[in-house]
Every structure is written in C-alpha cells, then in structure tokens.
Chains A and B, each alone.
Chain A
Amino acid sequence: MEALKEKAFVSTRNACKLCTPLGASIAYKGIAGCVPLIHGSQGCATYIRRYLISHYKEPVDIASTNFSEESAIFGGQSNLFAALNNITKQYKPEIIGIATTCLSETIGDDMQAIIQHYQAQNTLPDSPQLTYVSTPSFKGTHANGYHDTVLALVKRFAAFTETNNAINLLPGFLSTADLRHLKEIMRDCGLPSIMLPDYSDTLDNEYNGSYEKVPEGGTSIEELVAAGSSRASIELGHILNHATSKESAGTYLEKNFSIPRFNLPIPIGIKASDEFFTILQRLSGAAMPQKYLKQRGRLVDAYVDGHKYVFGKKAIVYGEEDFVLSMVGFLEEIGLETVLCASGGGSGLLKKMISEKVNPRQDIMVRDDFDFEDIAVACRDLKPDLMIGNSKGYYIARELGIPLIRVGFPIHDRLGGQRIRHVGYEGTHELFEKIANALIEHMQEHSPVGYKYM
C-alpha cells in the first residue's frame, strides 16, 4: 500500500464528482414550467432521476429519448422528435430543456440542426420553447453541466428590451435553502432580482395533498429574456465552468449586453458574506437593513464563543471546486486548519484561486481531479479531526472515527440534506455551530468521563 501512495492512478476509484447531465437537469429544474429531457439511453435519465430524488426527496420528472441500438447507429433524431411530442402532450410544459449525454455526443448528433428541423415542423402557438446544452460527461463534471446550462439558457433567451432595474443573481449550485435565503436578502435590500436558476420551490415543494407534474416556481422565460436588460449581474463562484467553456453566464451577459458583472465567491463565512453585502449595498445605495447587522453581530459573537472548540482542529474539505474554495475561506476565519482541499473537478484553477482569494495562513494541500480513494490515502498522513463535504466521504470518516459534517451535494444519508443552509451570515452561523457541535460531541463520546458540561 505504501508504494501506492504517490502513484497517479488512471482509474477513478470512488469518484468525487458526478456527470454533466445531472448538473444540467438541476439547472433546468430551476426554470419555470421546464421539463428536462436527457438525450441518450434511458439509463442515464433513470440514474440521474434516482439520484436527485433521493437527495431532494421530491418527485423529479426527467424524460429521456430512450436510445436503442438503432438510434446508437443512426442517430437520435426520430427519438428526440417522439420525446418532444410526448412530453408536450403529457406535461404541457412551457419549455423543454434538452441535455445531451456521452452516447449522443459520441454519435455526434447535431442538436442545433435537429431542433431547428423540429421547430420548423411544429409551429403551433402552444408548442413549448426548446433549448439545449451539450453535456458529454467525458468533459467536465456535474458542476460544468450546471454552469454550462445556465450559460446556454442566457444565450438562448437573454435579449435587450429596455433597461430594467433588476439584478441578475447567478447563485451557482447551492441548496434550496440557500436560494431562498439569497432571495430574501435581495428583497430586504430592496433590490429586484432575477435569480437564475431558481429551484428553491421546484425541488423543495411543500405538501398540500396534490401532485403537480410540473411544480410551481422557477425562473420564468420572461425573466430569462429580461436578464439581458438588467442593470448588473452578481455571479457567485470563481471557477464556474472554466474546464468546459471560456465564458460563463455572467461574462456572456457582460460582453454581449454590457451588463456589469460582480464576480464574488459563494458567500460562506463572514468575509465572503461581507463582500456580498457590500456589493448589495453599493447596488441599492441604501443602508443595509438592521436585520443583517444583527445577524452578522450574532455570528461574530458565536465565533468568539465557539472558537475554543474548533481552533487548531484539522479539516478535510471536498466537493465542487467553488464550494471548496468558499468553505476554505470560512474555515480559515474560524481557526480550523484545512489540511486538504479536494475536488473531482478539473479546472486546474483551484490551487491558484485558494492562494489568491483566501491566502491561507499555512500551505494547504490542494488537489483537483481527486477521488475518494486519493483522499483516503492522503488521510493516513494528514490525520484530520473532521471531514466536511457530501455523504460519499462517509466511509472514510467512519474508518478514521472522525465526524463528517454533511454539506453540499449529494446527501443521501440524512433528512434535510437538500435544505442545508450554507450562505450568508445566518447560513454561516448554522454551519459554524454544526461543526463546533460535532467536535464537542466527538470529544464527549470519546471521553471516559460522562461530561455534560463541556
């Protein structure tokens, strides 16, 4: 085993990334009246649905073009046409969001031409809008799929009409509770906003005794169009879809519609949240509501109170690159020592971004294109006190006998994984207490004395 430590494996063993059409499906779920359609064999759609359903604990309808051997040879046009007709008839969606797969990309289906062809034949006024994104999984990860889809959506719809007063908020891949919180903040600051995408309702629906096939909520097509006329964009995340595209939704809007872009980290931690609120204040030109001053104050208070439990503990952080980047910034603030930042993503930017944006006190081992077995091996030397990331790292935490703080995606072994809040002062506060409490609990359970006063 020792000899294997430094070896670079060609295989991926327990991947720390998911595939691109999954990211696309989540982004599409944030568009009002949208049914995602995965263009390929049915297995991909079924697997992706199952994964999303068990994380969000909601129905997640995603259609497939159900390729057969024949479509694998001759291309998927006729399957796509049939799928579009059948979805339209059953769901009456406003929009169908198509994502390609490894299979259709290997075949080389020309999506643009196929869709144009379809549209030329189907001109009924109630035909849904169509949009597509190219998401072969042999390029990039679910994070790329997500951001590429957001980009594809603005490319398809954003237009200049007349300047409106809205702010485009491009939140990145966050939890439903995060999205709700961001909207609340924008509202409180008196800033009309277009959040893209917004799956805070569609993937976290309330119970009312009836089943909506296309659940309410999401960014509307009008909003997508209006995004081209907004007065500014806030794009959260620095790495975004860098591995698969030269532009992001924010840079595209800036370049083509001259919409100023404020690129910020995902606001986890005081510093990142401060940056976010500072921009909001600049944009609104008004004083921050008292509420947030208080939230910030309470968070500082919590840091002060809880510092003794977390200081100097060693943490491993993993997940999507932008998520890891912000998480490290937060951990630096609270005095936790991050010993490894890992991501399955492969932009090549993670290390640079961490040193630029976070500038940590000590050198942190940063690895992209990492898998969980790489993490497990690294852990033998690093001896972390806790792990922070999604459910899939559980087996390592279990082996090491250390706590795992479940954040991010996917969370399949806890209730409420879909609505963990990470962002803003309040989200950070919840996260901080979760981490401190996990460490306290660990200490308590491993103490020979049954302390109840810690």
Chain B
Amino acid sequence: MDSKKINFKDPAEIKEEILQKYPRKVAMKRAKSMVANDTEQAKEIQSNVRTIPGIITQRGCTYAGCKGVVLGPTRDVINLTHGPIGCGYYSWLTRRNQTNTPSQDPNDKIDGENYIPYCFSTDMQDENIVFGGEKKLMEAIREAYEIFKPKAISVFSTCPIGLIGDDVHQVARAASEELGINVFGFSCEGYRGVSQSAGHHIANNGLLTHVVGRNDNGPEGKFKVNLLGEYNIGGDAFVLEQMFEELGITLISTFSGNSTITAFEQAHTADLNMVMCHRSINYIAEMMETKYGIPWIKINFIGADATAKSLRKMAVYFDDSELSAKVEAYIGKNMEIAEKVRSEVVKTTKGKLAMMFVGGSRAHHYQDLFEELEMPTIAAGYEFAHRDDYEGRQVLPGIKVDADSRNIEEISVSADPERYKPRKTEEQMAMLESKGFKFSDYEGMMAQMSNNALVIDDITHWETEKLVEYFQPAIFCAGIKEKYAVQKMGVPLKQLHSYDYGGPYAGFEGVINFYKEIERMVGTKIWQLIKAPWQGEPEIVGTVGMEI
C-alpha cells in the first residue's frame, strides 16, 4: 500500500445498518453496489444498472446527458428540444458551463455567436402527441434558422417522442437540405438508458457522425491536442486554455467546455486526445483513434500533483526537449505557489474526513485535491459511471451487455480512407509503452482509494443520510439535490457539479481556489449556533428583583 493510503476500519457494520431498512430484494441489489475497497485484491462493483423505482437517486435522464452535458456547452449550435416544455425548461442554463462571449474576446477569436442562453423547444401540445410532431419540429427548425442563421442546429428527443414515433433524424436530414446548414438529431429519450450516461454515449456517436471531420483547416501548431471531457464549469476550461497557451500547445478543440461547432469539425486534425472525464467521452476518443489514428491518454487537471503528472505525460508523448523544459519550468513555478497556500490550509484540514458522490469522474478526480489537503476520502462513488470507471478499463471485456446498453446504438467506425493517419509509428508506440507509458488506459477510482474505504454506486438518499450520520465527515461533496439534506445534518456540502457558483478548480489556479474554499468550509463555526443558549429547561438564577 502506498504511503498516502490508510487502512480504515471495516465498514461492514454501517453497510448492514443501511441494507436492513430496504425490502429484501432491494437490499440484495444494493449490496452489490456497496463495496469496501480492498487494496490487495481488486473487487467488483455493480454499476450502470437501473435505479430501483421509488428509491430517490441523484441520477438524471439520457436526454440530460446528451443535451445538457455534452452538447450544452457549445455556444454556436442551436439546441432544440423536441418534446413537451418541462424537459427543455429544466435544462435551460442550469449547468453553469461558461463560454467566451463576444464582449470578452477583444482579439475577435470567436464569431459572436452564443446561443447558450436560449432554450428552444417544440413545446408539444396534445394534438402533436396524437397526430405526431414532425411538422411542428420542421417548423421550429425553420424558425430557429430564420432568427439566428446559425451554422448548426441539433435536435434532442424527449420521452414522448420515441413513443409517438417521430423520426427526428429524417426531419433533420430534410432540414439540412432545405436550409443548407448542418442539422442533426439525437434519439436521446430519457427512458433509453439507466442514467445520463446513455445520453453521453448517444451524443458521442452523433458528434462523430455529424460533426467531427468536416473541416480540415484546423489551426497550425507543433503540438496539437484535443481536451476531451472538460465542460468549463466555473471557468475551468479558461484556466486550462491559458496553461496550454503558455506552454505552446495548440488546443484544437475541447469537448465541450467553451467550445464551438467549428472546433469540433476540426478535431480530427489534433495529434493527441487527452481525456479528462473518462465516462462521458471515452467513446469518441476510441472512435477517433480508429477513424483518424489519434491516440488517447487519460489525464487529470484537478489537483496540483495530478496536473503536474498529466503535463509530464503529455510532454513525454510529444518527445520534444524544448517542450519538456517548458513544462518543467511551468510546474516548478506553479508548484511553489500552490505549496505555499497548501501548507497554510492544511493546518485546518489535515486528518478531516471527506466524502464525494458525484458524476462520472469528479468523485475520482477530486480525491487528488483532498489528498493534497491531507483529508482522507472515507467513502466515494459515482452517480452514473460504469465498472471501468471504478475498477479500470481492464474489466471492459467482462462487462455484460444488458437490455439497457443494447438500447444505445453502437455505430461501426472504420479508418477514414483520406484522413486516417497514425500519429506515431508502431515502434514509437511500443517504445513509449515499454517505458510505462499507457495509451487508452484508465485505472479507475478504486485503485487510488484507501483500504476499506466505502465505494458506493448510485448512492441513494437514504444511504447518504446514514453515511453522514455514521462517519460525520468534515465535508460531503455532491450536488444541489443533496446539499440541503446533508447540511441539515450539520455537515457542509460542496457542490461539485456547479462548484457552488465558485471555481475555477482546474489547473494550478484552480487548486489554490479549492484549497482556500475547503479550508473555509471545514472551518466554519456556523454549526455551533444551532442551539440557542436559552433552549431547554430554564435555570432559575435569581428572584424577581434579580441581584446583579
């Protein structure tokens, strides 16, 4: 076991206590999604399975993953929701993914299009459900075009659409022809998958099919990369963009923080794909490798050590001494600044327990930051990840394909006859690999966690409550849906979807923000005010003419 790891007490007792309250069948199912981590022997965790009806979950729907997460942050595409009003309304500017707006960009690097603040919906009414909504959809696409003349419009289907059988793809094709712009549809009805995850996959497929590879004139540069699975929450992408610029790295596209359709179209011109959030984006990384010959590596820019490690990995790949020197200088300078802050805040944070249940990568990435704060992660889990995100990609061949995964169209991808170009020779790849360099690999969350730390997939509301009660962590990381329940129990909750409207937390700048934020949160004295001093039985200290 490496030195950062702890040997926690076996959590069997709390697990038992949690399961007791469930009906028997539910308990049996949930037991498989709750695992005490074992640093000696890899364990299997059940994940990416249906949430049980009536058990309150953190998860959203397929539509949310497709429209909200992957396509949502792209500013120059109009996202049109085909369905009744709620689905579109609830995903209207709530994810806090930021983007450059025209006024922020004096160098005119962008074209002034920003449709993120708009929420277009076909707002299906009774008669559209009965007679079909294709006509209305076509009309809505024309309207969106008429108002903004965008270069692309994408259409997202919500639950009733699949049932009434509207063919959004057919309508999209017809609209493309009529308007002469790129219109593409997604069959991302909420019920299709077990969570947002299915929506990510559908979005990846659609982007590869309809967008990537349409424009060969990407920016020039010596080191060209794509950053995949970075969504610019709280301005993270801005920090990373600046970092790349300082290092002389050309960022062709980010999927999809601060992104544009044009950049997506040029993504195939990059020479390396760097994957942040493995869950939401690994599909397109894999497919781009097959289709265009771009290798991918897993990186993480959350945490000082992780950022340094990721930058070094990138430098090794490009194998350029000048770049390596630049990277080392950059790391050296920034580490020193970060360390100064860290050594201060750690006085408050050291030894306090953290828990995180969020997303499909953040519950892993943020463990790096908590390690630096010397706060052990006693329990963690994802909301919508799969086994490979927990146990590592080596388990992929063994994952059973169930009815829900079969719902998502697997697209067949082959090498592009014109654009496929291996970025390294086989010898070069083998050389790198022999030095321990890992392509297309992700070792998962559990490899990093301490012994007996509790790993829970798709944690339920009830389990959250019990865990907090039992472990009394100093901080709980999740989202807005959990925030007020956890805080009612006297534990601060850090939102890791929206960053509590703070951030950025990526790169070295982010590290410092996060250190300070957590110090403030775990050090707060607000919880001491819960009881009024005069609560309870009064203590009589004097008579009416009280003596002083």
Mark A residues whose CB is within 8 Å of B.
1, 4, 9-15, 17-22, 37, 40-44, 46-51, 53-54, 57-59, 61-72, 79-80, 82-87, 89-90, 101-103, 106-107, 136-139, 141, 205, 207-213, 373, 392, 395
Shortest distance between the CB of A360 and any CB in chain B (Å): 29
Interface members, chain B 458-516 (any A CB < 8 Å): 461-462, 465, 479-481, 483-486, 488-490
Would you list the 4 A-B pairs with minimal beta carbon distance, nearest first? A43-B61, A19-B86, A83-B54, A86-B54
CB-CB < 8 A to B139: which residues of A? 10-11
Q: Is B343 an interface residue (CB 8 A)?
A: no
Q: Is the CB of B191 within 8 A of A72?
A: yes
Q: Is B119 touching A14 in the complex (CB atoms < 8 A)?
A: yes
Question: CA A19 – CA B160 in complex, angstroms?
Answer: 14
Contacts of A392 in B (CB 8 A): 92
Q: Which listed residue (B60, B120, B136) contacts A42, Cβ 8 A?
A: B60
Residues of A within 8 A of B100 (CB): none
Determine how close the nearest CB of chain B comes to the CB of A242; give it in whole angstroms: 16
A55 to B479, CA, bound (A): 14
- Residues of B within 8 Å of A, CB-based: how many? 80
**Could you give, for residues 116-140 of chain B, a 1 whenever the CB lies within 8 Å of some chain A CB and a 0 otherwise?**
0111111111101100000010011
In the complex, are the beta carbons of A42 and B57 less than 8 A apart?
yes
B538 vs chain A, min Cβ distance (A) = 19
* Stretch binding the partner chain, chosen from B45-53, B168-176, B300-308, B431-439: B45-53
Instruction: List the A side residues contacting B484 at CB < 8 Å.
Output: 53, 57-59
The answer for the CA separation of A175 and B525 in the assembled complex, in Å, is: 30
Give the residues in chain A near B117, CB-CB below 8 Å.
14, 395
Q: Are B121 and A138 in contact (CB under 8 A)?
A: no
Whether B52 contacts A82 by the Cβ 8 Å rule is yes
Write out the residue numbers on chain A whose beta carbons fall within 8 Å of the beta carbon of B404. 68-69
What separation, in Å, do the CA atoms of A347 and B540 have in the docked complex?
A: 62
Q: Does B537 contact A (CB under 8 A)?
A: no
Chain B residues, CB < 8 A from A68: 50, 191, 194, 403-404
Contact with A along B254-273 (1 / 0, CB 8 A): 00000000000000000000
Residue interface bits B37-66, CB-to-A below 8 A is 1, else 0:
000000000000011111111111111100
Given known pairs A50-B480, A210-B488, A211-B489, the reply for A13 and B90 (CB within 8 Å) is no
Q: Is the CB of B23 within 8 A of A86?
A: yes
Among residues of B, the one whose C-beta sits closest to the C-beta of A40 is: B159
Interface centre among A17, A44, A208, A209 (most CB of B within 10 A): A44
- The reply to whether B90 and A47 contact each other, CB–CB distance below 8 Å, is yes
How far is the CB of B101 from the nearest CB of chain A, in Å? Answer: 12
A380 to nearest B CB, angstroms? 14
Q: In the complex the two chains form, is B57's CB within 8 Å of A46's CB?
A: yes
Task: Encode contact with A along B137-165: 1 for CB under 8 Å, 0 otherwise.
Answer: 00110011011000000000011101110
- In the bound complex, residues from chain B placing their C-beta under 8 Å from that of A89 are 21-23, 26
Do B84 and A10 touch (CB < 8 A)?
Answer: no
* Inter-chain contacts of B122 with A (CB < 8 A): 10-12
CB of B458, distance to nearest CB on chain A (Å): 11
Return chain B residues, CB-CB under 8 Å to A87. Answer: 54
Which chain B residue shows the least CB distance to A79?
Answer: B53
Chain B residues, CB < 8 A from A106:
129, 159-160, 163-164
State A67–B462 Cα separation when bound (angstroms): 21
A9 to B85: give the CA distance in the assembly, Å: 15
A65: B residues at CB distance < 8 A:
53-54
Q: Which of A49, A82, A137 contacts B86 (CB 8 A)?
A: A137
Q: How far is the CA of A44 from the CA of B59 in the complex (A)?
A: 11
Kindly state whether residue B88 has any CB partner on chain A within 8 Å: yes
Closest to A11 in B: B140
Residue B279 is within 8 A (CB to CB) of chain A in the complex = no
Chain B 86-99, CB-CB to A under 8 Å as 1, else 0, gives: 11111110100000
* 13 examples of A-B residue contacts, CB within 8 angstroms: A1-B147, A11-B144, A12-B85, A42-B57, A44-B86, A59-B488, A64-B53, A68-B404, A80-B53, A87-B54, A102-B84, A137-B85, A211-B488
Is A18 within 8 A of B53, CB to CB?
no
- Taking CB atoms, residues of chain A closer than 8 Å to B530 are 207-209
**Are B86 and A21 touching (Cβ within 8 A)?**
yes
Complex: A66 Cα to B49 Cα, angstroms:
12
Tell me which residues across on chain A come within 8 A of B120, comparing CB atoms: 11-13
Establish whether residues A54 and B480, one from each chain, have CB atoms under 8 Å apart when the complex forms: yes
Contact call B159/A49, Cβ cutoff below 8 A:
no
Q: Which listed residue, A18, A47, A79, A207, touches B488 by the CB 8 Å rule?
A: A207
Residue of A with least CB distance to B464: A211
Q: Tell me, rounded to whole Å, the shortest Cβ–Cβ distance linking A234 to chain B.
A: 31
Query: Besides A43-B60, A107-B163, A373-B118, 17 other CB < 8 A contacts?
Result: A10-B122, A18-B89, A19-B86, A43-B61, A43-B64, A44-B87, A50-B90, A66-B51, A67-B159, A68-B50, A68-B194, A69-B191, A79-B53, A102-B159, A205-B488, A211-B489, A212-B488
Q: Does B83 contact A (CB under 8 A)?
A: yes
Q: Check if B121 sits within 8 Å of A15, measured CB to CB.
A: yes
What is the CB-to-nearest-CB distance from B402 to chain A, in angstroms, rounded to a whole number? Answer: 10
B182-202 interface code vs A (CB 8 A; 1 in, 0 out): 000000011110100000000
Bound state CA distance, A10 and B136, in angstroms?
Answer: 7
B136, B407, B461: most-surrounded residue (chain A CB, <10 A): B461
Q: With both chains docked as a complex, state the minimum distance between the C-beta of B498 and any C-beta of chain A, in angstroms.
A: 9
List chain A residues, Cβ under 8 A from B251.
none
CB distance from B460 to the nearest CB of A (A): 9
